[in-house]
Amino acid sequence: MSMSKKVVLAYSGGLDTTVILHWLKENYDYEVIAVCVDVGQGKELDGMEEKALKNGASKLYIEDAKEEFMKDYVFPMLKAGAVYESKYYLGTSIARPLIAKKFVEIALKEGAEAICHGCTGKGNDQVRFELAIKALAPQLKIIAPWRIWDIKSREDEIEYLEKRGLEVPMTREESYSRDRNMWHLSHEGLDLEDPSKEPNYIKLLKLGVSPEQAPDEPTYIELEFEKGIPVKLNGETLSPVDLMFKLNEIGGKNGIGLSDILENRVVGMKSRGVYETPGGVILYAAHEELEHMCLDHQTYAYKQQVALKYAELIYSGEWFTPLREALAAFVDATQETVTGKVRLKLYKGNIIPAGTTSPYSLYNESIASFTTGDLYSHKDAEGFINLYGLPSKVRAMMKQRNQ
């Protein structure tokens, strides 16, 4: 098959991209090259090549980016402690810049003139993908069908395929919008669009169970970090990918990492989603315990502010920006001493600290103990309090004079 123009399609094999593949063939004179970036979708990739070629793609690239995803995207986010609006561990958001980077690499390799994605005009991902593409290859055109075509809903998409006698890759009853990678699984749509309703976790969850269904006995684990990066689980050295999969299994069984959140989207509206991040939430909890031990007061306090901005940049698709890179450099500097072991107790959705050790611990028992040690004199506190409280004392004296 030889055509003068090519388009790279961000392909998942799901409903959206199945419809888009046919729509591209009907409306553009393009050779369609399907690309799927493997960031841990698992069985979702089974049979994808056959499906893509059957639906009109000239070829399919499946790019294994799991290791790169963990090392170059997840771990920097983890070290920053970035959480969006206190509940969202950025599972979909953090994968988007890497996926877009792979799209660009293949588009340039194939000599394509455009990249097509299946993000809706209401969603965050259109912003994330397109900002990344513009930062990496501004000459590439972007085709966003949801902003062009007359299709308005998932039901319309199903009808589009049925009218053409094409296979529909999902049922109407199970048409949740889901995004899966090795860090998390998100669920949106259907009954979740009513925030007054409690999610049906038994029906919904895929990575684990609800806290009520978790074992009645706690599970203890030990994580070891080097410069803010997890390297061992229960004394075993593991690759980032293997570590993540094992933590997801352990966390899922114990009902860890469920978030039901109404979040503020980049485009201005609120949306409701349920997120499963079992291994990720465990890593965040362990990393934070170690930082409490190894970071001084001022560094930890300022890093909390950086974490908020870092999360905002990830959520908004601003990964490939000077500010994000500068904040990452700051975070890396803070992690030089974040090395040690953290023991956690997992019990019915809860993560309970069970002991932390580090060669860089700033905790000094001789100073902190209620028993007076050689390094601290109680008498020193009086002068400190007098100086520290001087502004308050002066202000109080002024108010008394003017009463």
Tokens of 307: 């974490």
Tokens of 242: 């293997």
Residue 186 annotated as binding?
Answer: yes
Residue 275 annotated as binding?
Answer: yes
8 A C-beta contact, residue 202 and residue 107: no
Tokens of 212: 């009520």
Tokens of 342: 């953290």
Residue 16 annotated as binding?
Answer: yes
Tokens of 306: 């950086």
Q: Which residues are known to be catalytic?
A: 16, 96, 125, 177
Phi, psi for residue 100 in degrees, rounded to 5: -60, -40
Q: Where in the chain is the domain with CATH 3.90.1260.10?
A: 180-357
- Domain 180-357: CATH superfamily is Argininosuccinate synthetase, chain A, domain 2 (3.90.1260.10)
Largest CA distance in the chain: 91
Residue 177 annotated as binding?
Answer: yes
Q: The pTM is what?
A: 0.94
Residue 368 annotated as binding?
Answer: no
Phi, psi for residue 277 in degrees, rounded to 5: -140, 60
Q: How far apart are CA 186 and CA 178, in angstroms?
A: 5
8 A C-beta contact, residue 277 and residue 87: no
Taking the CA atoms of 159, 165, 169 and 173 in sequence, report the sign of the dihedral they define: positive
Q: Whole-angstrom distance between the N-terminal and C-terminal Cα of the chain? A: 91
Q: Where in the chain is the domain with CATH 3.40.50.620?
A: 6-176
Give the chain's radius of gyration (CA, Å). 25
- Domain 6-176: CATH superfamily is HUPs (3.40.50.620)
Q: How far apart are CA 365 and CA 373, in angstroms?
A: 9
Per-residue model confidence as pLDDT tens for the chain (403 residues):
455 799 999 999 988 999 999 999 999 999 999 999 999 999 989 999 999 999 999 999 999 999 999 999 999 999 999 999 999 999 999 999 999 999 999 999 999 999 999 999 999 999 999 999 999 999 999 999 999 999 998 889 999 999 999 988 876 566 688 899 999 999 999 899 999 999 999 999 999 999 999 999 999 999 999 999 999 999 999 999 999 999 999 999 999 999 999 999 999 999 999 999 999 999 999 999 999 999 999 999 999 999 999 999 999 999 999 999 999 999 999 999 999 999 999 999 999 999 999 999 999 877 776 666 667 888 899 999 999 999 999 999 999 999 9
Q: How far apart are CA 226 and CA 331, in angstroms?
A: 14
Tokens of 357: 């050790």
Q: Are strands 114-116 and 141-143 parallel, antiparallel or unpaired?
A: parallel
Residue 86 annotated as binding?
Answer: no
Phi, psi for residue 339 in degrees, rounded to 5: -130, 135
8 A C-beta contact, residue 333 and residue 228: no
